[in-house]
Each structure stands twice: as C-alpha cells, then as structure tokens.
Amino acid sequence: MTSGRTFRRTAREWSLDLASWVTEMVIDTLWETGLKQPVAIAVSRPPQG
C-alpha cells in the first residue's frame, strides 16, 4: 500500500458514536466511487491536556 491523500477535520464534540459515523461515511463514499484497492483509515482525537 502506498501513501495517498490525507484529510484532517475537527469537530467541537467527539465521541465513539461520532467516530463510528465518520468511519462509515468514509467507507460508503469510497465504495460509491468504485475504489477496489485496500485503504487505511484512522479516526482519532487529539490528547486532552
């Protein structure tokens, strides 16, 4: 697998439900575009300090 595009966004609130929803939306969009190769998806939040 090679490096590709990186998308970074922020949200005012973050939860496990939101992380799951974002992941599902990314996967659905990739399938709809016809992507046939594996991709790596990371959904995280910055450390709280």
* DSSP one-letter code for 7: -
How high is the pLDDT of residue 7? 75
How high is the pLDDT of residue 31? 92
pLDDT in tens, 1-49: 566 777 777 778 888 898 899 889 989 999 999 988 888 888 887 777 6
How high is the pLDDT of residue 49? 66
Domains of the chain: which residue ranges? 13-49
Closest by Cα among 42, 44, 26, 37 to 2: 37
Q: Scanning the structure block, which residue is given the tokens 């939306």?
A: 25
How high is the pLDDT of residue 44? 81
How high is the pLDDT of residue 8? 78
